[in-house]
Amino acid sequence: MAGVLAATSLAAMPGRSWAQMGEPVVETAQGRLAGLLDADGVASFRGVRYARAQRFMPPQPPESWAGVRAARQFGASAPQTNASPPPGPPYVITAQIPRPEGAPPPPPPLPEDEACQFLNIWTAALGHQVRRPVMVWLHGGLFYGGSGSTIDGSALAASGEVVVVSLNHRLNAFGFTWLGDFDADFAHSGNAGMLDIIAALRWLKQNIAAFGGDPERITVFGTSGGGMKAAFLMASPAAAGMVQRAAAQSGPALRFMEVEQARRATHALFAALDLPQGDVRALQQVPAARLLAAYHSVAAQMRASRFIDLPCFAPVVDGDLLVQHPFAPQPAPQTRAIPMVLGWNAQEMSFFMGADPAGFTLDESGLETRMQGLFGERAAGLLALYRQAYPKASPSRLWIQAHSDYSIMLPVMAQASRRAAAADTHGGADSFVYRLDFQSPALGGKLGALHTLEANLLFNTPRAGTAVLGEGPGPELLAARMSAAWARFAHTGVPDSGLADVPEWSRFDLASQNVMVFDEQCRIEGDPSAAVRAAMADMLDA
């Protein structure tokens, strides 16, 4: 084992680089792990098993091992790929953005397996002597897809002086099939995927100090579905005390599924598989590929009517793991003590227009037709507000703006306002709200500040996001600003970037409703989109 040193010895050898000392090895409660070391002195540990689970059952602690186990490759992601996708282009438009000239080829697809309970760690300061905040990335893809193995946490770990963690967990029918009506052994199957995340947090509480992390300063953050997962953790009694801060990027989670909704999805799944209703043991034995195909068939028939709706195979308000909705009609009591960053991107919904080319070439008649379809009798009044607010915008941009505001801005601001109102009444932690306005140059600039645009900015990896962010100093500066703000939030609970060219990010309250606007020039705006928000407010129905 030449060249392998225990993590606890690293801090005792000042003046020597890790590269001189060999590969990083850490002692965990289960056994020793050997990671990788990059040229900038950041150690990564990949594919670390944090739990094991039988199908639909709660996760159990991982087994221990003797010797040193390699942690240099990402573990399997949850089963999710549709073997028979619908015809036509993908609805996610980033698939149409060309790769920059000279960019390396995309990595091969990640393996998928039910035994997907793996996490990844990036740290620039190993050992118990260092206690850096821990930032746990919860991947997007709502609750049906995605992987924690698609990000690189090394730059954020180094520049933000934090320990970065990402993780995989069970998804779709494997992680969120409600079976509690049929067998008490499966009482928590409807939230099995969230139990995986809680098991990962439990593993971090036990082990992250050996990686230089502070188990008492854990921030969960995520985009889209990742932000929704953060809300579940904030509200769940099973996660109480495990999360000290939370950040949700374009992932408002006012409500989750009711049991009756979950029942309908489960009955449809049994029918799609031609199994007797309630035969849980038979469902456990269905080959994974067949179960996944049935899931995709059912999900195609139970589509969401809007972004925040979760019609099937998503977390369930079960009265135990989740006693009430996180932020509807008011914030759940447990959520009030957790400081929160939340926000949205200005033109979110262009991201979902990959199969809607006509949406980018609308004339006035086409715009009015779409507004009527989405807003009904409110359409004319809302369109007048948008034309007044954006007098130079094309019909397509007005449509994208209205659809984005309704889908994500409106529930984000509702979540922030409900938190602020609860804090005024009951006391509670601060909220910090942002909007990302930076305009992507991709596809001729028609996408604007699309959904997920912030990912490479938060991880301080703008060059990896050149295809959507473009080149030059603008993305580099914005990445430095945003990653610094999120890292400082993990350190202190206040997202003060400490940079001279960024104004102080004041907390959100009902009087000012201040929002930090991230762009090439950052600024604070009070109550943006107030008129539109007032006109749409009662459309949340939650």
d(CA 55, CA 298): 19
| CA 226 from centroid of its chain's CA atoms | 2
How far is 472 from 466, CA to CA, in rounded Å?
Answer: 9
Q: Is 224 marked active-site?
A: yes
How far lies 48's CA from each of 28, 64, 75, 118, in Å? 11, 12, 7, 5
Asked whether 398 and 364 are in contact (CB, 8 A), the reply is: no
24-27 sheet: strands from edge to edge: 5-6, 24-27, 32-34, 68-70
Tokens matching residue 363: 């004339």
Secondary structure element (H or E) that encloses residue 365, with its range: helix 364-375
Residue of 447, 434, 363 whose CA lies nearest to 400? 447
Strand ranges for 95-161 from DSSP E: 118-123, 132-137
Instruction: Measure the CA angle with vertex 54, ends 52 and 56; round to 5°.
Output: 115
Looking only at the bridges linking them, the beta strands covering 118-123 and 68-70 are unpaired
Residues 85, 57 contacting (CB under 8 angstroms): no
Give the C-alpha distances (Å, rounded to integers) separating 318 from 174, 284, 323: 17, 21, 6
Task: Decide: 323 and 66 in contact? Cβ < 8 Å.
Answer: no
DSSP state letter for 438: P
Tracing tokens 């099939």 back to the chain, one arrives at: 177
Q: By CB neighbour count within 10 A (0-12 exposed, 13-18 middle, 19+ buried), where does 197 fall?
A: buried
Per annotation, catalytic residue among 189, 224, 250, 529: 224
- List, by residue number, the catalytic residues: 224
